[in-house]
Amino acid sequence: MLVAIPAAIALAQTQPAPPSEHPPSPRLTLTTQDEYTIREVILTDASIPRQNSAPENIGDAVPQNIRLSPLPPEIVQKVPKAKGHEFFVKDDAVFLVSPSDRRIADVLRKKPSD
């Protein structure tokens, strides 16, 4: 038995999906030492405000109501690949954010060894 498939359905199944509106920002590839340096400087600074509710996953868009801060010069000097990123803190984690699209590029959670 032969079944006819309408052309529109056949075309829809063979065409690639359109590119997403916001391609994901590249994830930062930090060394263990880079991560420790960033956490040590930021998480020990009591003057940095903590966010109560914010996205938590790499690639998530950060809403405009979340205040982002530039990385301190000390971090940019020690971890140059993080230059240009901004951050916010939630709980015991530092969230590095790409300023071009406000997407989370990396999450640095406090470790027991910190």
H or E, element range at 105: strand 103-109
* Angle, CA of 26, 77 and 79, to the nearest 5°: 35
Question: What's the confidence (pLDDT) of residue 114?
Answer: 73
* CATH code assigned to 27-109: 3.10.450.160
d(CA 67, CA 50) in angstroms, rounded, equals 10
Yes or no: say if 111 and 32 are a contact pair by the CB < 8 Å rule: no
pLDDT (average), residues 29-42 = 94
pTM given for the model: 0.75
Task: Considering only residues 18 and 52, tell me which one the structure prediction assigns the higher pLDDT.
Answer: 52
| Cα Rg, the chain, nearest whole Å | 20
Question: What's the confidence (pLDDT) of residue 2?
Answer: 54
- 26 pLDDT higher than 70: no
Task: Considering only residues 53 and 34, tell me which one the structure prediction assigns the higher pLDDT.
Answer: 34
pLDDT (average), residues 20-25 = 50
**Residue 34 CB coordination number (10 Å):** 19
From residue 3, alpha-carbon distances to 6, 14, 24 in Å are 10, 18, 41
Yes or no: say if 106 and 28 are a contact pair by the CB < 8 Å rule: yes
- 17 pLDDT higher than 50: no
Model pLDDT for residues 53-112, shown as the tens digit of each residue = 888 999 999 999 999 999 999 999 999 999 999 999 998 999 999 988 999 999 999 887
